[in-house]
Amino acid sequence: MPSQTESPSHTGTRLSSKMKFPNLRKSRTVFFGKSGGPSPSIKTDSTTSITDTLGTFLNFPSDKSKSDSSVSATRRSSPERARPSWPTSGVYTSSSGRTDPNGSPPSPAIRSASVPLSPFAPRLISAQEGQWFHQSVILVFGEVGVPERPIDGTVTVHHHLEGYPATQWPVTSGHFKVLVHLDPGMNRLRFDFSASKIAPTSSGIAVNFLPLTSCPPLHLAILLAKDSLGEYECHGDLRLREGNDVRMAKKKLRMAAYLAQIFTGEQMFRHRLGRRCFRLEEEWVADSLSSRDDGVMRSVAKVHVLRTQKTVGDIRQREASQDVQGIWDIASEAVEDYFGEIAPATKRHVAVLVLDAKGDLRFGDLINRSAFSGGLGLCGSRSLYTLPSYLEDVVSAFSDCSRPGGAIGNNDSPESGSFWEIATSAMKNMMEAFISPQPPTQPRELEHINRTFLMKEPYSFRTKSPGLRFCVPKNESGWSRVDCLRFRYHPCFRIPTDPVPPTLPDNPQVYAVESGIVSGAQSGIVLVEIYTDGVYRAHREFTNKPEREVSLLEDDLRASLTDGHKTKPMKLRIYSAGQGKTVVEDFSTVKSSKVQLPNGYGVAFKSSSLGRPKAGGSKPQQLILHTVAPGRMLTSIRVFHNSALGGLEFMYEDSSTQLFGRRESCENQEKVEVSDFPLDTRKGESLLGFCVRSGAQVEGIEILTSFGRRSPMFGNPHGGGASSNTLIPPRGRSIAGVSGSYAQCVDGFSILYK
């Protein structure tokens, strides 16, 4: 490689000092609007890199002054109409060289991507030198040429060490989008541009891929009936060309999962939440991601094939009657039988394609369930035939204007549009079923997922309108900001620098105060959604640093609403970083949860209640601690428990006691256990709060003190279906009592504080 001070020359490339190239950076404009905001252009180094036609890398010193002077001359002399300018945004630049705002480790020798010397060398906008990614297939978009001369052609991507087949992607009006396969570690990529009457040019970049092996994966599965033929409905021509068996269904489901991963990862980055995405379970098999691979072994997304004991008729009968629970039970039983020994139900996320279902299974309550929200997501095989099978098929699948005709029955009629419109709808349904946060906060705009992977949209037969001529990010579909915030702290989206998520969901607790409410969680509060009339209106986010305790003042919340909703009752959904959620049905009701203390000791507030008291079978109880009176000191707490909490006995220095709940056995057949937890009153230790594990009843309880001590978990620390809840009064307040209900055991629990 020649030094940077040498005058380069080569038989395949002739360069002259008189050549003038326009300033490529000035042609870029800001897009993104609300999401990204304006920002400076991508930085450049003091040297620029180009690959000549023979593949030799040459380095030249850049001359900014010459470039600036030449651009004006070029623009004055060009009579041609300027092409559409590819927008840029601050989300793709970094002044510090740290490319992931959420802490992905930077490359030791990270630098911004250089602007290539030739105007026809591909310039990458969405990827920078040394950037870290956490998914094996990424979306890269960029531009070629100059704005005054829109040009079409082809970009060929050469992967690291030629370890993956080269792929070709169209260039439209000087812009391109490509899908790039990455291997773990550093990847040196080369982008070759070719067009008629223009010499081939190249540019290169090095990026890094760090697999997130510590995150729970998304499992992909195909469900077959016991008498299934293993075939899905398919257009006649495609059936002859591709086939419609389980082998092809696995390829299409795998490719759809990669597209969903690419789409979601790009959306997270555009919302400034880092280069984070979910992980797919992988296996070491012959790669089917590329149509040009012939038996090459790689780690690719694994697709399981499950068999249910039900017949095809059973599945379709339940589908026809829209029997949500029947369909759900068939799938969940098969998943439990297959995955039961791999991971517990609360820790696994399974996306299931029901191959024998003729529709898309998006009806009833199924539309409010997904693999990431409930552990299981279901989708039918309708329109599966239109989805791409290989990486090379993505552009053609979303550009195919073929019509389904009547060869596929009544699922996809001519009114459904062309194949590309049907494929877009199928991708939307799969993403809703497999990864979407549920329940949705607002209607999702995923009708144009195809635009994420295309530069030019074809004619729409469904709407009888021409497609979008230039697909830039602001015209694409995307996850809403609220959806991305809910993804941000999901365990499947965790990157190495994020804290380890809690074992149980950390549900936020709500405490009333005079001016509003205070919400707190051990893992921190990250999102508060505001609803009126059952419709999402606004939200508040705390993403920079989740706060363990946030004040939600009524005036501040109503200020974020439009004039027509400022006086209406507010409903809140509060989310924690530990995947917990609490719903406040009526803000004004929580504010009024006050309890009058005896003997003129003032007013106490009551926290949100845990557990689910049995109607008519539970006895309510409210206990005011003696410590509300001056001079009374709590010395110990006695806990009655076995598989659940039976009662609490508060013991004072004057030997008096107070009982909440009961001393007898929680269940008639079980023996009660008695545990004492003393407080060090000589040093001033006092009761701070409780950590409660609850489901339908209070399974277990920990006692927290002002010295930071915690008691053991009294009760059942591993009760099924329970969640973890920390009850600690807001700052500056102390516990005044406990409240709740009990039957055979405590089934309702809250604290009083003043």
> At 624, is the pLDDT very low, low, confident or very high (cuts 50, 70, 90)?
very high
For residues 415 and 410, give the distance between their C-alpha atoms in angstroms, rounded to a whole number. 10
Amino acid symbol at 194: S
In this structure, is residue 365 part of a structural domain? yes
Task: Work out the average pLDDT over 709-730.
Answer: 82
How far apart (Å, rounded) are the C-alpha atoms in residues 104 and 731? 34
Residues 111 and 204 placed together within one structural domain of the fold: yes
Spatial distance between the Cα atoms of 222 and 338, rounded to a whole number of angstroms: 12
Q: What are phi and psi of 290, to 5 degrees?
A: -110, 140
Domain count, the chain: 4
HEC states along 110-159?
CCCCCCCCCCCCCEECCCCCCCEECCCEEEEEEECCCCCCCCCEEEEEEC
Place of tokens 């490359």: 107
Q: Which residues contact 18 (CB under 8 A, 6 or more apart)?
A: none
Please write the tens of the pLDDT for every residue from 1-43. 444 434 333 434 433 444 444 444 444 333 334 434 333 333 3
- 697 falls in which pLDDT band (50, 70, 90)? confident
pLDDT higher than 70, residue 719 = no
Rg (CA), the chain: 31
Helix, strand, or coil (residue 360):
coil
263 vs 74, higher pLDDT? 263
Tell me which of 166, 186, 209 is where a domain ends.
209
Instruction: For residue 327, tell me if it sits in a domain.
Output: yes
Rounded to a whole number of angstroms, the distance between the first and last alpha carbons of the chain is 75
Residues 166 and 272 in one domain: no
Q: In which domain, by residue range, is 369 found?
A: 218-447+481-491
Angle at 162 between CA 156 and CA 166, to 5 degrees: 25
| CATH number of the domain within which 127 lies | 2.60.40.10
Least confident of 50-64, 78-92, 251-265: 50-64
- pLDDT bin (cut points 50, 70, 90) of residue 722 is low
Domain shared by 619 and 543, yes or no: no
Asked whether residue 41 falls in the same domain as residue 134, the answer is yes
Nearest to 215 by CA among 261, 267, 252: 261
Q: Is residue 94 part of a domain?
A: yes
- Let me know whether 297 and 437 are in one domain: yes
pTM for the model stands at 0.81
Q: How many CA atoms lie within 13 A of 11 on its CB side?
A: 1
Q: What is the mean pLDDT of the chain?
A: 82
| Structure tokens, 51 | 């690959």
**Is 275 in contact with 100 (CB distance < 8 Å)?**
yes
Which amino acid, one-letter code, is at 590? V
Give per-residue pLDDT as tens, 540-576: 998 878 888 999 998 899 999 988 898 899 999 999 9
Residue 663, number of CB atoms within 10 A of its CB: 12
Same-domain check for residues 256 and 293: yes
Based on the domain organization, do 443 and 335 belong to the same domain? yes
**Average pLDDT in the 342-371 region?**
89
- Among 157, 188, 209, give the residue marking a domain's end: 209
Same domain for 391 and 309, yes or no, is yes
Q: Would residue 214 be called left, alpha or beta, if left means φ above 0 and alpha means ψ between -120 and 50 degrees?
A: alpha
> Rounded CA gap, 473 and 451, in Å?
8
Say if residues 258 and 138 touch (Cβ distance below 8 Å): no
SS3 readout for 498-516: CCCCCCCCECCEEEEECCE
**Which CATH number goes with the domain that contains 732?**
2.100.10.30
Cβ-Cβ contacts under 8 Å for 326 (sequence gap 6 or more): 318
pLDDT of residue 284: 93
- Residues 575, 615 within the same domain: no
Percent of the chain beyond pLDDT 90? 51
Residues in contact with 474: Cβ distance below 8 Å, sequence separation at least 6, in sequence order: 31, 32, 33, 87
The CB-side HSE value for 320 (13 A sphere, CA atoms) comes to 6
> How far is it, in rounded angstroms, from Cα 320 to Cα 357?
9
In a domain, 583, yes or no: yes
On the question of pLDDT at 446 being above 50, the answer is yes
User: Would 18 be classed as within a structural domain?
Assistant: no
Decide: residue 283, CB within 10 A, 0-12 exposed, 13-18 middle, 19+ buried. exposed
Q: Please give the C-alpha separations between residue 500 and each of 99, 346, 490, 496, in angstroms, as whole numbers.
A: 22, 17, 11, 9
* Cα within 13 Å of Cα(137), Cβ side: 27
Q: Are 99 and 203 members of one domain?
A: yes
Note the pLDDT of residue 448.
Answer: 93
Residues 685 and 749 in one domain: yes
Which of 85-94, 200-209, 449-458, 742-751 is predicted with the least confidence, judged by mean pLDDT? 85-94
What CATH number is attached to the domain comprising 576?
Answer: 2.60.40
Residue 406 pLDDT class (50, 70, 90 cuts): low
pLDDT above 70: percentage of residues in the chain: 82
Q: Which of these three, 530, 557, 591, is where a domain ends?
A: 591
Buried b (16+ CB within 10 A) or exposed e, 383-418: bbbbbbbbbbbbbebbbbeebbeeebeebbeeebbb
Burial label for 271, CB within 10 Å (0-12, 13-18, 19+), is: buried
- Asked whether residue 252 is domain-assigned, the answer is yes
8 Å CB contact between 495 and 212? yes
Answer whether residue 46 shows pLDDT above 60: no
**Three-state secondary structure call for residue 598:** helix
pLDDT band at residue 216, thresholds of 50, 70 and 90? very high
Strands 137-143 and 175-181: antiparallel
Residue 174 lies in a domain: yes
In terms of DSSP bridges, do strands 87-88 and 29-30 run parallel, antiparallel, or are they unpaired? parallel
The pLDDT-based confidence of 741 (bands split at 50, 70, 90) is: very high
What CA–CA distance (Å, rounded) separates 448 from 424?
7
Quick one: tokens of 10?
A: 């080569």
Question: Are the C-beta atoms of residues 595 and 752 closer than 8 Å to each other?
Answer: yes
Burial class (CB in 10 A: 0-12, 13-18, 19+), 723: buried
Pairing of strands 137-143, 123-124: antiparallel
Peptide bond connecting 108 to the previous residue in cis, omega within 30 degrees of 0: no
In a domain, 724, yes or no: yes
- 629 and 667 co-located in one domain: yes
* Amino acid symbol at 400: D
